[in-house]
Chain A
Amino acid sequence: MPFMTVRHFTEADIPVRTELLRENKYQTNLNDFAMSAADLELADGMRRTIESGHHVKRLFTMCGSKGQVVGFSWITSIDWRSQTCELSFAVLPRYRSGFGFKAVEAAHEYLREQLHMDVIINQVLSHNTMMLSAAELDAHAQIRAEYDSYTVGQWRTACYWTVTRDDVRGRKQREQARRQEIADRVRAGVQGLS
């Protein structure tokens, strides 16, 4: 079984996601609207999404190798015609150190491999360096939107960027070249020793 899998969000996942929406780091890094919403209201919203909102929003559950729920991802601003969507994700606190990157990677792969999305929009508030350092964020950002939001007592700047199919292909080719270079170097070293 792969390290991380993506499955459709179901009604049974609603309580766990509701709890996550109210968690402090989530509110700081994404939004704090859940603070002002009742549980029932949040649950109704999620239920509507999975029952009839497929065209505009989709929710997914990220699972570890034993099938345990590790976090959630969701896509909004879906433009089916242009094969574009905005990806958001949130990992449960206890899995953040080990699973964060894998969860993001698995969500991206699912969107490209199965839903046939070509362009994925990322939005990260600039103080949030859980996945990318401040320097990496700067390098990626195509748009920096100041005063985008005010979460947990602070003004936030949002960074937006897209990842296209060509970007992914380029990154994979670079990684492959780097692996090849290391292998060549190791081989050359071994031959030099013998």
Chain B
Amino acid sequence: MTEILSLQRLDTDMAIAELKSCGGAARGFLGLDPVTQNDSLLAAELKSLQAQLFSAGETVVGFAPNTDQPRQAYVASTSADPEPLRALLEFLTTYQRCTTFVAMVPDGVENCFADCGFEQVGVLPRHRWQNYDWQDVLVYVGRADSCRS
């Protein structure tokens, strides 16, 4: 059995600092963008999403509950490495009783969702503007029973 990476919960200030240190990989993380939002805006956004962020080695992972259906969480990772995400899914299943996960990822960015058993369920066209261009956003869905290992 693979050993689960340990997650370090980040307070808001630390979460923002860590996200900023991830450079381009943090753009679009749960819809946030350190390039266009300063620390106060990022903090306000994290609060309104009720998001929680964690570090797992060099990677930041995080989630925001779907308030309409708390057994579902929106998840994000700054890395294409599947291990940090697996650790987050394990946490969400164990402590939040989540059964499904949704990820919204800017198109063209290498990500770990397919590797973690997520299925692509749609594309949001021209959902983002970045670097003088429109960008589509890919929507992935994962299920607790098939994504955790």
A-to-B contact residues, CB < 8 Å = 8-10, 50-52, 54, 58, 112-116
Contacts and interface: CB of A to CB of B under 8 A. Distances in A.
B114 interface: no
A156 to B, nearest CB: 32
Interface of B: 35-36, 38-41, 129-132
A54 B40 CA distance: 9
Contacts of A58: 38
A49 B35 CA distance: 17
A58 B40 CA distance: 12
9 contacts: A10-B39, A50-B40, A51-B40, A54-B41, A113-B131, A113-B132, A114-B130, A114-B131, A116-B129
Contacts of B35: 114
A51 B42 CA distance: 11
Contacts of B132: 112-113
**Ranked 4 nearest A-B pairs via Cβ:** A8-B38, A113-B132, A116-B129, A51-B40
B7 to A, nearest CB: 28
Nearest to B131: A113
B29 to A, nearest CB: 16
A9 B39 CA distance: 10
A14 to B, nearest CB: 14
A14 B38 CA distance: 15
A114 B131 CA distance: 6
B48 to A, nearest CB: 14
A58 B89 CA distance: 37
Contacts of A10: 38-39
